[in-house]
Structure 1
Amino acid sequence: MGVVSYDSEITSPVPSAKMFKAAVLDSDNLIPKVLPQAIKSVEVLEGDGGPRTIKLITFGEGSQYKTMKHKVEALDKENFTYSYSIIEGDVLGTTFEKISYEVKITASPEGGSVCKNTSKYFTIGEVDITEEKIKAGKEKASAMFKAIEAYLLANPDAY
């Protein structure tokens, strides 16, 4: 098994506490609302939203994937950190054992937020992950973050 890791960073004018609440704590409800073409639904299969919670994500009509399960690894509401892993689903294919994400949202000097994300791809055997695949993953994560940001900017009283 190999591990391929990459980091990304996205800035937003939305304050960090508000962004964390929307993008992490209420993502099960918000993401299907702001990106219905990507995510149709999120269902908690076991747990209470904290560590060891298992969620079933059903993709939208426009997605090439059907479903995936992800497991919450860690959640720190005071420090705005969140870790989870995709543990099942056609998103993994025959290439990946799992994909893990570590997210930290911090305050920016301008009053907004900075979202730092580390993604780790755990491959089955020796697999070469191309720069194109990494770029595509970064673009999807950025689009999701920007969709949440747009919703929060358009709905300043939300959260």
Structure 2
Amino acid sequence: MIGKLEHEQELHVPASEAWDLFGTLRIGQLVAQELPQLFQSVEITEGDGGVGTVLKLTFAPGVPGPGDYKEKFTKIDNEKRIKETEVVEGGYLELGFTLFRVRFEVIEKGEESSIFKGTIEYEVKEENASNASIVSIQPVATTAELAKNYLLKNKASKEASQ
């Protein structure tokens, strides 16, 4: 069984500013700091933020889903502003998923605006197909909203100091 979920969020900042957050480790640090109700921790276990970096995500107690897992950065395209991660250990893999990929993309909308597009793609074994119901785009949507607010706050701070 194959599935795909998507979420789009307008960001009222230039694509380059949004990518400086989404294309780096900063997004994980922001999520870990600002969303303790969703993530108990986000730890770097390998790498420096480039392709091959491995993060361990531990969800907060009571959050429905996979508990904790490790994901690896499998693609970072700074030109197209696309970052992809795949679960490589634990979590969804223990629930019969053979693929769980999250893609962050920042699309230029204009000089002062951009669109964040988050996508979850997954494949799950037929005998575990009922587990597909635990896949939710909500953590991606929550992350996008948090990032939007953070970016707008930073933009306002920069404009006020000029």
TM-score range, shorter chain: 0.7 to 0.9
Shift in alpha-carbon separation, 1:122–1:115, aligned structure 2, 3 A = same
Instruction: State the partner residue of 1:12.
Output: 11
Q: Which moved more, 1:32-41 or 1:55-64?
A: 55-64
Query: Which amino acid letter does the alignment assign opposite residue 60 of structure 1?
Result: A
Name whichever structure is richer in helix by fraction: 2
Instruction: State the partner residue of 1:155.
Output: 154
Instruction: State the partner residue of 1:41.
Output: 41
User: C-alpha separation between the residues in 2 aligned to 1:61 and 1:119?
Assistant: 22
1:106 corresponds to 2:104: no
Query: Which amino acid letter does the alignment assign opposite residue 57 of structure 1?
Result: L
User: C-alpha separation between the residues in 2 aligned to 1:117 and 1:14?
Assistant: 17
Is the CA contact 1:66–1:90 (under 8 Å) kept in the aligned structure 2? yes
1:79 corresponds to 2:80: yes
Shift in alpha-carbon separation, 1:62–1:22, aligned structure 2, 3 A = farther
Cα deviation, 1:81-116, whole Å, max 9, x if unaligned, reads 101112333355524223112222011136211122
Question: Secondary structure of 2:139's partner?
Answer: helix
Cα deviation, 1:91-147, whole Å, max 9, x if unaligned, reads 5552422311222201113621112233211102251577x756xx22331111101
User: C-alpha separation between the residues in 1 aligned to 2:2 and 2:48?
Assistant: 29
Is the CA contact 1:86–1:99 (under 8 Å) kept in the aligned structure 2? yes
TM-score, normalized by length of structure 2?
Answer: 0.79
Instruction: State the partner residue of 1:144.
Output: 143
Instruction: State the partner residue of 2:59.
Output: 59
Q: Which moved more, 1:67-76 or 1:149-158?
A: 149-158
TM-score, normalized by length of structure 1?
Answer: 0.80
User: C-alpha separation between the residues in 1 aligned to 2:2 and 2:11?
Assistant: 29
Question: Secondary structure of 2:110's partner?
Answer: coil
Cα deviation, 1:44-78, whole Å, max 9, x if unaligned, reads 21222211221111223453453211011111223
Structure 1 gaps, min length 5: none
Query: Which amino acid letter does the alignment assign opposite residue 116 of structure 2?
Result: C
User: C-alpha separation between the residues in 2 aligned to 1:61 and 1:128?
Assistant: 22
Q: CA deviation at 1:9?
A: 2.2
What is the aligned length?
A: 154
1:24 corresponds to 2:23: yes
Shift in alpha-carbon separation, 1:59–1:118, aligned structure 2, 3 A = closer
